[in-house]
Amino acid sequence: MIAPHADALIAHVRANRDRYVDELKAWIAVPSISAQPDHAADVRRSAEHAVERMRAAGLAGAEVLETAGNPVAYGAWLGAAGAPTILIYGHHDVQPADPLELWTSPPFEAAVRDSKIYGRGAVDDKGQCLMHLAAIEAHLNVNGKLPINVKVVIEGEEEIGSPSFEAFLARERDRLACDVVVVSDTAVFAEDVPSLTTSLRGLVHWEITVHGPTSDLHSGYYGGIVKNPLEALAQILASLKDAHGRIAVPGFYDGVRELSPHERAEIAGLPFDPAREAHGLGVPELAGEPTRLPLERMWFRPTLEVNGMYGGYQGAGAKTIIPSFAKAKVSARLVAHQDPEQVKHAVTTFVQRIAPKGVRVEVEAQGDVRAVATSRDHPAVAAAARAMELGFGKPPVFIGTGGTIGPVSSFDRILHLPQVLIGVGLPDDAIHAPNEKFDLGQFFGGIETMTYLYDELASALR
């Protein structure tokens, strides 16, 4: 369904493109780094900035809502009597900008080069939040109303794992009641390949500590009779996977479904060159289960990765010791229908069982983010696909993403709501890295997509 006033809406947003870029520059200038306590006031200032932009868009009741941590910016327009309600989610906090010397232009002084805007938070996620506020403003300015009721939540802790968000959702359950959640914090598959994400992986992690002697020992006196904790840790970590990259932990794959032949054919048809990808990553070749397509491994298969390990002497020269302990940090990305608690238990039990004699192993399990999958047959997803085709001129493909967005899992678990993941970033936008950018073609196309989206959702969810 194309809105009867679509031409006027699109003309409005195209006429205001320069203003939207200036607004994004102003928001980027607020260094809302949630990971660094000395920027707490900036995170609050960013929430207040978002509230002011909501009010300018026409969300008269916009306000800052407090949490146990950083504040949430909230606004709503509820004037569509009898129409469904959507909740738009985004985040205004950003990653640290370090290392600063690798930025071509200052991270909090946004610069436009080659039709791209560079700055921390440009695409993750201030620019993608602004797409919705611009679209809402267009409807209210041109039509005086929206075709659907809209609530907007822009939180301030996503980049540190959203520690206060679940309690906020539980507390504000009635205020946030809606029919579907719309999230624009993802990327498309590639430029000129519009995409809708229908799955996100979950996340759990462990810290494994191997305890040996009560203190470091002289390797000449005690080598050969005392088990080396670093050696024991290496044995444990090497046992987590077989020679083909399959995870060897019993029960780890419980609940993991196989893709249908049609789904695998869709993945195989995407423009993905494994050799080029490996070259771009600086590795000789891609690794993992050889019977699975690379994109299948990235999106729809669980992983178990060693994120770091340490122990013993690491300074200059040599120090001949048997260290007293060794540690490793391990994480798993989960897919739909895996139970995080069951996976945590399976890995913990396996590590304890295979621990070599002569050492004591301690395993601390953390995290409980479930994977999320939304059926492409859901009416809201079909509506988003139509909107993206109108906004970008071609129908989107359906993809997964290997990453995790904790609040998406929280909406699923706490409020039991379906979600539409309709982000428009590009894979090379350098999120979390120096020179983060947002391609202005994607930014403007995203605004037009969201302008169409509300009409499409209003029709699909009635």
- Rounded CA separation 241/125 (Å): 35
- 105-142 confidence digits (pLDDT tens): 999 999 999 999 999 999 999 999 999 999 999 999 99
- What are the structure tokens assigned to 238, written together? 């090497």
| Domain finish residue from 308, 339, 368 | 368
Residues 6 or more apart from 291 whose CB is under 8 A from it?
none
Are both 180 and 301 inside the same structural domain?
no
Which of 340, 368, 396 is at the close of a domain? 368
Q: Which of 321, 345, 322, 320 is nearest to 332 (CA)?
A: 345
The whole domain housing 48 covers 6-200+371-460
Residues 360 and 375 grouped into a single domain? no
Query: Is 406 a residue whose pLDDT tops 90?
Result: no
Q: Which of these three, 368, 394, 428, is where a domain ends? A: 368
On whether the CB atoms of residues 462 and 384 are closer than 8 A, the answer is no
User: What pLDDT does 33 receive?
Assistant: 98
Phi, psi dihedral angles at 114 (to 5 degrees) = 55, 45
Q: What percent of the chain has pLDDT over 70?
A: 99
Q: How many domains does the chain have?
A: 2
CB 201 within 8 A of CB 186: no
Residue 279 structure tokens? 């070259």
Q: What is the pLDDT of residue 403?
A: 85
User: Band of the pLDDT at 318, cuts 50, 70, 90?
Assistant: very high
Model confidence at 47: pLDDT above 70: yes
Residues 439-460 have a mean pLDDT of: 98
Q: Are 108 and 120 spatial neighbours (Cβ–Cβ below 8 Å)?
A: yes
Alpha-carbon gap, residue 190 to 286, rounded angstroms: 19
CB neighbours (10 Å) of residue 360? 12
- Say yes or no: 157 and 186 in one domain: yes
pLDDT above 60 for 455: yes
Q: Does pLDDT of 363 surpass 90? A: yes
Q: Give the Cα separation of 124 and 38 in Å (integer).
A: 21
pLDDT at 411 over 70: yes
* Rounded mean pLDDT, 246-275: 95
* pLDDT given at position 368: 82
Q: Is the pTM of this model over 0.85?
A: yes
Using DSSP's 3-state secondary structure scheme, residue 123 falls into helix
